[in-house]
Amino acid sequence: MILFVIKRFALAVTTVFVVSVLVFLLVHAGDTTPGVVAVGIGGTQEQIEAYNEQIGWYDPLIVQYLAWLGSALTGDLGTSLTNGSDVLDEILRRFPVTASLAFGATVVSSVLGVVLGVTAAVRRGLADRLVSVFAGMGAAVPAFWLGIVLVFVFAVQSSLLPATGYVRFEDSPSGWFSSLVLPVLTLAIGGAAFIARQTRASMLEALGQEYIRTLRATAMPTWRILYVHALRSASLPIVASIALQFIALFGGSIIVEVLFALPGLGVAVQGAVGQADAPAVQGIVVVATLVVVVVNLLLELTNSFLDPKLRTS
């Protein structure tokens, strides 16, 4: 078990490292040098080169990467080329927005997905068919399209909720909540569809196992068989699918942030890429990966704890 935790941890660290190298290389592969961005439209070739020289752009890649890694490990992700702000500060400022969105969507999609999946598996019949229609649609409707439809229905037609924008929790908890409802829903539906399918399949798989017969033979009430034993068996693949879903969700939040004009990391990365703001791109991507990897690690440890075979090894 301890060995398992160590191995997973090592893998998580490797993942972040690999991504940081990848992004570093990508940033350097572009044909826009930082100087061009930092100096701006009117800058001369000399000014640009001077800037590049100053930040060490012409150093060997490995030297540059190590320099970046060194300062990143001390919490310095550099400064933005476009507005000179500290990248880490910018990330920290935007993080709550994306975090609220991603975690909100994860919670909503997990709860919704598990409830629907269990209902479909247990009730079969009409409920099952309705859930599978939902799961099919949820998997097929792109988040942005769904978002637009939601905005149209709840904001444009009925003004129940704000169409776009973000209210900070500190400013108004209720405003914060209503500013997040539509984005979270938009992001959560697809995930809920995926988790519902997985839950349904895992429940049915569990209910087909022979030990269910033993439970019936010892007069265990049906509800306990369904909601204690079958669900417990199904919990492993369900948590695994939630972990996978989180990865997709975190990426998907970019689209939702753009759609709802939320000042989160997604919008930032969109902007940074659009403007070739190398330090910002690099910083945000690495931090985003770090978050995904950490959450994933936690879910995986949860799963290994849920699995008696792993726990007792």
Partner 1 sequence: MSDTAAFPTRSSQRASRRPLQAPQALRTLLRSPLGMLGLAWLVVIVVASLTAPLWLPYPIEYQDFSAVLAGPSAAHLLGTDELGRDVLSRIFAAGAGSLITTFLAAVVAIGVALPLALIAAASSARIETIINRVTEIAMSIPALVIIIAVIGAVGTNLYLVMTCLGLLIAGGIYRVFVGQAKSLQSQLYVDAAEVDGLRPAMVSIRHILPNMATTIFVQFVLVFAIGLMLQAGLAFIGFGPQPPEPSWGGLIQSASKQIYVHPWLMVPTGLVLVFTVLGANAVADTLAGGQGAPPSQVALGPEARRRRRELKAAAPVAVESAPEGMLIVKGLTIGVDDGPELVSSVSFEVAPGTVLGVVGESGCGKTLTALSLVGLLPPGVNPREGSIRWGARDLARLDESGLAAIRGREIGFVGQEPMRALDPMFTIGYQLAGAVRRLRGVGKADARAEAASLLGKVGIVDAERVLRSYPHQISGGMAQRVAIALALAGRPKLLIADEPTTALDVTVQAEILSLLRGLVAETGMSMVMVTHDFGVVADICDEVVVMYAGQVIESGTVHDVLGAAEHPYTTALLAADPHAGLGVVGQERLASIPGQVPQPRDWPTGCRFADRCAFAQPQCVVPVPLIARDRGDGGVRCVRVHELQLGRLDDPVPLDAATPVDGGADPTAPTTAAAPARNGKVRS
Contacts (CB under 8 A) with partner 1, residues 118-157 = 121-125, 127-128, 136-137, 139-145, 148-149, 151-152, 156
From 54-62, 80-88, 92-100, 224-232, give the range in contact with partner 1 by CB under 8 A.
224-232
Binding mask 45-74 for partner 1 (x = CB under 8 A): ------------------------------
Smallest gap from Cβ 239 to partner 1, in A, equals: 9
From 39-47, 50-58, 173-181, 196-204, give the range in contact with partner 1 by CB under 8 A.
196-204
Please report, as residue ranges, which positions from 260 to 279 form the binding site for partner 1 (by CB under 8 A).
269-270, 272-274, 276
- Residue 277: phi and psi, rounded to 5, are -85, 85
Binding residue for partner 1 (CB under 8 A) from 205, 227, 301, 302? Answer: 205
Binding residue for partner 1 (CB under 8 A) from 48, 229, 260, 264? Answer: 229
> Residue 80 or residue 289: which is nearer to partner 1 going by CB?
289
Should residue 236 be labelled a site residue for partner 1 when binding is judged by CB under 8 A? yes
Give which of 66, 73, 248, 51 is closest to 143, Cα–Cα. 248
Binding mask 76-115 for partner 1 (x = CB under 8 A): ----------------------------------------
Should residue 210 be labelled a site residue for partner 1 when binding is judged by CB under 8 A? yes
Smallest gap from Cβ 71 to partner 1, in A, equals: 20
Please report, as residue ranges, which positions from 163 to 192 form the binding site for partner 1 (by CB under 8 A).
187, 189-191
